[in-house]
Structure 1
Amino acid sequence: MTLGQPHAYFTPEEYLEIERISPIKHEYFRGQLVAMAGASKAHVIIVGNLSALLVNHLRGTGCISYANDMKVRLPKLNIFYYSDLAVTCDERDRASNEDFILHPKLIVEVLSESTEAFDRGNKFADYKTIPEFEEYVLIHQKQVLVERFQRQTDSLWIPSVYHNGDAVEFGSIGFSCAIADLYENISQLL
């Protein structure tokens, strides 16, 4: 995410109203709206594959998986991000009618050249301020490669890397699948 010249300051409430009627998505960064670029075909397929797997896995658990269009709110930082996929198991998120969640335990980002540095750096650091956040997953779209970071303590995140032929595990929700399942239907795009 890059911020251009500053524009008018928008409150979180104004942002949410604008976002409800806007034909394009924006993230919210301390009063500024930042337009989001469209996704590649590979990106959309990967998120769809994972979303389908997680919906079935989470059925009956009380956890909900949100793909693409659900905002994650970070009120302490005055930020709203759109993650590629987020899972919350928190009753407060399930009971809320808001256009965002506050308590995800798993967040997944599919990396692109334009977002990779931000997703790895500032965005990850910002997500770490969520007390319920346990696991961060980065999925590459140009190669078969998944990186997982699992919280041990507030300052210690254990990385795991998965390659072609591996089984990917998300410990926060007890999920496992073949890495090939995430990349189904995009071999010609790699």
Structure 2
Amino acid sequence: MIANQESFYISHQNYLNGEEISPIRHEYIRGEIWAMAGGTQAHNTIALNLASLLRNQVRGTGCRAFVENMKVFVETADVYYYPDVTVTCDERDRNASDSFIRYPTLVVEVLSEKTEAFDRGDKFADYRQIETLQEYVLINQNRQRVERFRRNAEGRWELYIYEKGEEVYLASVDFSMPVAAFYEDVPV
């Protein structure tokens, strides 16, 4: 969730070094850093619900699930983002000393009023440049609605919308779950 911009150019290495000691997270967008605002209880609970379920799903498969504090580096877009939930199944992301991954299979963002336009627009445009990315999921935190964008065989992104009472299928990790499971302990 982006809150404000610190307006000066910074190198990748200076950004990564700064993130190691900073008490707050920042996203890096083409040489500029943006401080991340704190999330709501609903936002955090939704992300944790999904990450917990995905962690159990991918355990032992060679895939790894991450929640909120793992950056994704999109080299072609020159950005580092902190998705709410990420899954990578690529062996090139297995270096435990890295503070970021490059080859996610699944990226999930929990929408907020302040970040929704960015998550749907420029951020999704940047994520689409990742060749390994198969699905991008947007979760509404104010009502039970999940949007799944899936890259098809022709490389085009198809939208699937799931609402209360429906089952979401994440093909990238071969996992189904009811929409209600995203919102467990969230009053929506």
Q: TM exceeds 0.5? A: yes
1:84 maps to: 84
Moved more, 145-154 or 70-79: 145-154
Shift of 1:152: 1.2
Normalised by the size of structure 1, how large is the TM-score?
A: 0.94
Shift of 1:95: 2.9
1:50 maps to: 50
The yes-or-no answer on 1:27 pairing with 2:36 is no
How many residues are matched? 187
The SS at the match of 1:83 is: coil
Q: How does 1:50-129 map to 2 (within 5 A)?
A: 50-95=50-95, 97-129=97-129
The SS at the match of 2:130 is: coil
Normalised by the size of structure 2, how large is the TM-score?
A: 0.95
The CA distance in 1 between the partners of 2:124 and 2:153, in whole Å, is 15
> Structure 1: which 5+ runs fail to align?
none
The CA distance in 1 between the partners of 2:125 and 2:154, in whole Å, is 11
For each residue in 1:74-128, what CA deviation from the matched residue of structure 2 results, as whole angstroms up to 9, or x when unmatched? 1122110000011000001013521000000100000000000000000000000
Residues 57 and 23 (structure 1), Cα distance of their counterparts in 2 relative to 1, 3 Å cut: same
The CA distance in 2 between the partners of 1:21 and 1:135, in whole Å, is 32
Shift of 1:154: 6.5
The yes-or-no answer on 1:38 pairing with 2:38 is yes
The CA distance in 2 between the partners of 1:5 and 1:45, in whole Å, is 29
The CA distance in 2 between the partners of 1:98 and 1:159, in whole Å, is 32
2:145 maps to: 145
Residues 55 and 155 (structure 1), Cα distance of their counterparts in 2 relative to 1, 3 Å cut: closer
Shift of 1:178: 1.1
Shift of 1:19: 0.3
1:18 maps to: 18
RMSD across aligned positions (CA): 1.4
The SS at the match of 1:95 is: coil
Whether the 8 Å CA contact 2:7–2:33 is kept in 1: the answer is no
The yes-or-no answer on 1:176 pairing with 2:172 is no
